[in-house]
Structures are given as structure tokens and as C-alpha cells.
Chain A
Amino acid sequence: MAADAHKLEIFRGLIKFKSNTQKIWGVLILLSIITAIEVVLGIYKPESTMKSFFGMKILNWIFIILTLVKAYYITWDFMHMRDETAGLRRAVVWTAVFLICYLIFILLQEGGYVFDVYKDGFIKRDF
């Protein structure tokens, strides 16, 4: 395949690479920076991010969002999703995202419920 068949811009065209190889290294730098941020946050755990927000610590939300950002770039640039047709892209991404969200919702909801039963339902496990 000719090199010009690749879409070479990321960040909605903010950064445009000259060649596919250059784009790969660019994405590597981006992913490394994100991982470094995660590790630093994980080690120091800033006080301001320890507050609870929507059932979880803000820090955990940051981690999950950064992970999704990484997942996006791995799929779009390493797995060449950016260069596939819209049909293939949607068939893969929408299906997976919908089913995974559903699964997570069901299981976490139920886990929280079981926790409440243990806590308030006169079931003793502190012995």
C-alpha cells in the first residue's frame, strides 16, 4: 500500500505527520507520556484528587479516562482503524462499546448491591 493512503493527522488535524513512520513514533511518545502521568499520579496520589465523585475517587476517573485515550490511539493508529472504512470501524467499535458498557453496568450495580446486603442486612463477616 502506498504511504499516502494513510491518514497522517492526529488531534483532529492539530498535528500532521510527514510520513507513516513518523506518525508511529509520535503516537509512541504520546502513549509514553500518558503512562508516565498515570504512574506519577499513582505513586504520589495528590490530595485534591482523593475526593469522591460519582461513586469513585476523582483519581480513579482520571485513570480510566487516560486508559480510554490510550486505547483510542492504539486502535486508531496501531491497528489502522483510522484508515478503515466507516462501516468496518463502526461494526467493531459500536458493538464492543455497547456490549461492554452493558456488562459493566450490570455487574457493578450488582456488586454494590451485595455490598449493601452485607453491610446493612445483618450478615456478619467480621470475625
Chain B
Amino acid sequence: MNTTVATTDTEGKTWEGGNQPLKASYGKMMMWFFIVSDALTFSGFLAAYGFSRFKFIDAWPIADEVFTHVPFFHGNYPMIYVAFMTFILIMSSVTMVLAVDAGHHMNKKKVTWYMFLTIIGGLIFVGSQAWEWATFIKGDYGAVQTKGGNILQFGEYATVDGEQKFKRLSITDFAVASPTEREQHSRDVGLWFVEEASLPAYQVGDIVKGMEANPNILVRTQILNEEGEKTVLSREESLQQIKENGRLVVQGANLTVNEYGSPLFADFFFFITGFHGFHVFSGVVINIIIFFNVILGTYERRKNYEMVEKVGLYWHFVDLVWVFVFTFFYLV
């Protein structure tokens, strides 16, 4: 790498400084230091996710059933959108290497153009992640949480192409809303220092009424059977479970409840993809700074574009982490 400092007369004197056994500049080495430590942080998170998953290995949510939406399209498309996000990030990684390469050739116009494309790719990715979060928080079918914290979901058997299949039902489609005597606790109704979140739209009683009115509805527990599918209870067991153990109607996911299964799944999802999204966001900000420096000709005057290479390393690292998040959250 001739981007590093030219040799001086200290060469050969091992203890006098001036040696560069790794042939990399100070800035680049520090970027590698940071990347190694950040890689360890992310592996800590992913390994903790693995810990919780192995702890509840027979009841973990199935990612294919959780992330099934694509913006502007209705229907069930597991993984398509995340695959698109992965591709966008890899693509922006490619434009980043191309910018670094153009920098080595001192081609200011090309560096500017490729940096711009990299920033756009990063923004599309962050936007997609925000959409993904919003969809996850909103949820789709709704469920009932038991007093033990387990999740009960609803559905019925339907014949699709001559095959009996369990089709999920949304609680909003069958629950019978009834007037409630429970008021939301707040200061203005005379309860001092007592506040709570808005009450769920439905109560377990509404669900029971809805189930009694529709004899087809069955309950699905979070326990995975031999084939790796969730267990569907019989009609009697379904009613009994809801009546005896049902406590709270859950729609969507947040840090305390999660209609797809274990709340830990939602916690780790928010934490790990959030931390990664924050990295992407700061990467975009740093890229923008470098982009303006390129336009202003800072590196042209400095006669090397190593700064682009350094932010490039960070940007690729963000891509690298996503490859692992993609595997462990959506595939495995």
C-alpha cells in the first residue's frame, strides 16, 4: 500500500519507531480495532438471542409466520422483503468498494457518484427497517396471553387444494365486543398517581363469546410439535384453555407482550435490529460528511482518498453484521 507514509531513515532500527510491520496506516488500524470490538458486541447480542432461544427451543415463534408482509402488496410473502433489504445493503456495499477503487485512481467524479449511491442505498435500508418495525408493532391476527405468559392464537381448518390446512383467524373478525365496566386509570378520574396504558380493544370475555358463536374456531398454542409446527388444540381443549387461563388480549408486539409468542423474541428483535439500524444510520451520516468532503475536494488536495477507504470499512462491517442478523432472525 503506497498510501502509507514513505520510508524514512529509521528503517531497520527495530526499536526506534518508523517501522510498519502491518503496512497499514494508523487510522485504518484503529478502524479495524473498532470493528473487532463492535463485532464482539454484536456476537454478544446474537449469542444472548441464541441462549433465550435454546431456553425455549420447543416454543419459539416461527420467523416465516411473523415477517410475511411486503409494502403495497397484500398477502403472504415470507422473507421476500428482508431478502430485498439484504440485497439493497449488499448493493450499497458494492458501490462503496467502487468508490474506494475510484479513490485509488484519484477519480473525483466517480468517487462522488458512488458515494451518493451508497448513501441512497443506506437510506432505503433504514426506511425499510422502520417499516418492518411498524408492521411488527402493529401485528396482524392478535392473540390471547395466558396467566403463565404463554400465547394462544386462533384459526380454523380449511381445505386448500384438497388439503386440510390450518388457517389463522384475526380476533377482530370473530370477537363479540361488549360494553365494559372497566375504566382506564388516569389522574383525571380521581385516581392520584395512578396511570396506565390505554386498555386493549377487546377483553378475553369477548373472545370467549366469539368462539362460542363460531364452532370452527380452534386455539393454537406456542408449543412446537415433531414437524416443527405449532400445536392445534381440539375444540373442547381450546375453549377450556381460553376460559381457564386467558388473561389478556394482545394485538401486535412491544417490549412486554408479543402476539407471535415469547416476549423475548420481540425484545431481541427490537434490540438487535435497532442497534444495527442505529449503526446504519450513523454510517449514512458519516458517509454524507465524507461525501461533502469529496465534493469540496479535500481528498483531492490531500492527494489520497484513504478516508473513503476507512468509512468504507465501517460500511462493509455494517453489511457483514446484517448478513448474520438476517440468518439468525429470519432463516434459522
Contact = CB atoms under 8 A, between A and B. Distances in A.
Interface in B1-60: 1-3, 21-24, 29, 32, 35-36, 39-40, 43-44, 47-48, 50-58
B97 interface: yes
Contact of A108 (B35, B54, B319): B54
Interface stretch (B85-93, B153-161, B176-184, B265-273): B85-93
A39 B40 contact: no
A31 interface: yes
A20 B101 contact: yes
Q: Is the interface of B mostly helix, strand, loop or mixed?
A: helix
Interface in A57-116: 57, 60, 63-64, 66-67, 70-71, 74-75, 77-80, 83-85, 87-88, 91-92, 95-96, 99-100, 103-104, 106-108, 110-112, 114-115
A111 B78 contact: no
Size class of the A contact interface (CB-based, 8 Å)? 35 or more
A28 B332 CA distance: 23
Contacts of A125: 148-150
B47 A107 contact: yes
Interface stretch (B232-240, B253-261, B290-298, B323-331): B323-331
A14 to B, nearest CB: 21
A1 B317 CA distance: 22
A67 B323 CA distance: 7
Q: Is the interface of A mostly helix, strand, loop or mixed?
A: helix
Contact of A42 (B55, B104, B331): B331
Given A24-B94, A79-B313, A125-B150, A42 B79 contact: yes
Contacts of A108: 47, 50-51, 54
B51 A74 contact: no
Interface in B75-118: 78-80, 83, 86-87, 90-91, 93-94, 96-98, 100-101, 104-105
A21 B95 CA distance: 10
Nearest to B39: A96
Interface string B306-332: 000100110011011001101100111
Interface string B196-236: 00000000000000000000000000010000100000000
Interface of A: 1-3, 5, 20-21, 24-25, 28, 31-32, 35-36, 38-39, 42-43, 50, 57, 60, 63-64, 66-67, 70-71, 74-75, 77-80, 83-85, 87-88, 91-92, 95-96, 99-100, 103-104, 106-108, 110-112, 114-115, 118-119, 125-127
Interface of B: 1-3, 21-24, 29, 32, 35-36, 39-40, 43-44, 47-48, 50-58, 64, 78-80, 83, 86-87, 90-91, 93-94, 96-98, 100-101, 104-105, 146-150, 223, 228, 245, 309, 312-313, 316-317, 319-320, 323-324, 326-327, 330-332
Given A20-B101, A92-B36, A107-B51, 7 more contacts: A57-B228, A60-B331, A67-B324, A75-B320, A78-B96, A78-B312, A108-B50
